[in-house]
A and B are shown apart, each in its own frame.
Chain A
Amino acid sequence: MNRRQRSAASRTAVAALAAAVAVTVTVALAQTPPGTTGDARRSGYHDMGPALRAMQDDDSANPAMLWVRDGEALWNRRLGAAAKACADCHGSAASMAGVAARYPAFDAQLGRPVSLEERINLCRTDRQKAEALAGGSRELLALSAYVALQSRGRPIAPPDDERLRSYVAAGEALFKRRLGQLNLSCAQCHDDNGGRRLGGALIPQAHPTAYPIYRLEWQGLGSLKRRLRGCLVGVRAEPFADDAPEYVSLELFLMRRARGMTLEAPGVRP
């Protein structure tokens, strides 16, 4: 499918979704292919200065590529009681092309959606018979960066899986809920004030186009969940527990909201 067919297909799919669930704002945004007039969506990439954009664009300067290299080694390393590598089941990482563009996805066995990091960990525990990697660990970030890289340049393409709908709706409701002592919702900053400045920081539109990201402030690679936790702490809200369903719901909603935008992972952010 070329780009135009793909976006036409996604338009039809989105229309079907709209009929079923009233995620009207999301759909209005998603129906306009990115890059055409009328699509006001913009990746945080475009809110950065030229130096940071150049750092993301150049693989030899993008610090996230250090994690990618680790991820490649891990992909090929046999481990766990099963003594299997990711490559033993999946072959070359090229088989992962497009995967990061459609996660989180519904896991039938667990009966709930799982993020890409969780999916990787399920392969660890179920297939490799190894210990799950800790959330935020270097290895898990390395593997997710390596897998995400395989989708770089592809449009974000969340599946129209009806089992995900209630989670997407929950994510959207959460995005619009005021939280914390400062009583602000995600939408108030990112929908209503995207492009304005909060102190010295430009408020991006909060599209999950680049994750995992190398963030200068973190001096390291971090997941979308870590980014969301930062915004929750910023409004003086209690962050959700690490394994809370709220994160995957928010991620699902953000991916719907960014449908058709180009995946640029692993990205760089201030």
Chain B
Amino acid sequence: MRTARLLAAIATPAVIAAVPAGHAQEAPRPYVVVGDAIPASLTGQSGDAARGRAIVADRQVGLCLLCHAGPFPEARLPGNLAPPLDGAGARWSAGQLRLRIVDAARLNPDTIMPPYYRTTGLQRVAPSFAGKPILSAAQIEDVVAFLATLKH
């Protein structure tokens, strides 16, 4: 099993988290960007919103709440480095959400949002993460499916 230290290690007691089984991360598959979106699913299938919610809420897997707030009454103090996720599914189509998670730098080169599905153009990546995207294609589809439910 691969162990990983995570962004949260900066702020919380050195977290050693086991990557959940079944999410062994492969190199990114090719995808097509159309305008500001990736219209097609990365896996060819639609994701699962409940799993996506769990990924977003997990500070060692999605990391999202380190920067974004959102509709997570159970969550500990979220970060405030980014706009709240509330209403994301009303503002953006699934394809637009997908590109923003896959590689937000395509829309804003200066963004601090990590490129969740890019393994190139990165420097000094720790060996245990090298060549792997932050989230797998299936995880990203789950997150997209969840965000699409956030209509308010």
Contact = CB atoms under 8 A, between A and B. Distances in A.
B12 A233 contact: no
A54 to B, nearest CB: 22
B135 to A, nearest CB: 11
Contact of B65 (A180, A199, A235): A199
B9 A178 contact: no
B13 A234 contact: no
Nearest to A240: B124
B125 interface: yes
Nearest to A188: B112
Interface stretch (B29-37, B77-85, B141-149): B77-85
Interface in B66-119: 66-67, 76-81, 105, 112, 114-115
A198 B82 CA distance: 10
A193 interface: yes
Interface in A126-167: none
A75 B85 CA distance: 55
Interface in A177-225: 177-184, 188-189, 192-193, 196-201, 217
Contacts of B4: 236
Nearest to A216: B13
Which of B7, B76, B78, B80 has the largest count of A CB atoms less than 10 A from its CB?
B7
A198 B77 contact: no
A179 B80 CA distance: 21
A169 interface: no
Contacts of B105: 183
B9 A199 contact: no
Interface string A223-261: 000000011111111100000000000000000000000
Given A199-B12, A201-B12, A177 B123 contact: yes
A184 B112 contact: yes
A238 B123 CA distance: 9
> Interface residue tally of chain B, by bracket?
35 or more
A181 B80 contact: no
A100 B114 CA distance: 37
Contacts of B63: 182
B80 A238 contact: no
A241 to B, nearest CB: 12
Given A198-B66, A217-B12, A238-B125, A182 B77 contact: no
A184 B114 CA distance: 7
A236 B129 contact: yes
A201 B59 CA distance: 13
B81 A197 contact: yes
Nearest to A203: B81
B56 interface: no
Contacts of A178: 122-123
Q: Top 6 closest A-B pairs, CB basis?
A: A201-B11, A234-B10, A200-B77, A181-B129, A182-B114, A199-B66
15 contacts: A179-B123, A180-B123, A181-B122, A181-B129, A182-B7, A182-B114, A188-B112, A193-B81, A193-B112, A199-B12, A199-B66, A199-B77, A231-B10, A234-B5, A236-B6
